[in-house]
Amino acid sequence: ETGVTQTPRHLVMGMTNKKSLKCEQHLGHNAMYWYKQSAKKPLELMFVYSLEERVENNSVPSRFSPECPNSSHLFLHLHTLQPEDSALYLCASSLRRDTGELFFGEGSRLTVL
């Protein structure tokens, strides 16, 4: 138990669906992150939030829309995804942005049909 909880753990969606991934951290951290992990590729940073403000968007397509309503919760809204978006989506948090130790959730396995 890392203190970072992701739901759902598995999600299957069609290309026309709209769904959301949720992340919650109970560690009192100030920064939260979304990473994408595809087969045989390094983890790719998608978004960074620091004190609820988005501070980085790593050239992610607009079909992925993050939301951080407070410092404990992070969402990733998904719409009109493509099959190549199928991957493991990992949420992480750290006490400080950029230099703090990173704690990850178990991930949400997304399959786009």
Q: Is 74 exposed, middle or buried (0-12, 13-18, 19+ CB in 10 A)?
A: buried
106: contact with other proteins by CB under 8 A? yes
Query: What is the C-alpha separation between 49 and 67, in angstroms, rounded?
Result: 9
Stretch 24-83 residues interacting with other proteins (CB under 8 A): 31, 33, 40-43, 45, 48, 55-56
**Count of CA atoms in the C-beta half-sphere (13 A) of 74:** 34
Nearer Cβ to other proteins (6/78): 6
- What tokens does 66 get? 């993050």
97: contact with other proteins by CB under 8 A? yes
101: contact with other proteins by CB under 8 A? yes
Reported residue count of the chain is 113
Contacting residues toward other proteins, per CB under 8 A: 2, 4, 6, 31, 33, 40-43, 45, 48, 55-56, 88, 90, 92, 94, 97-99, 101-107, 109
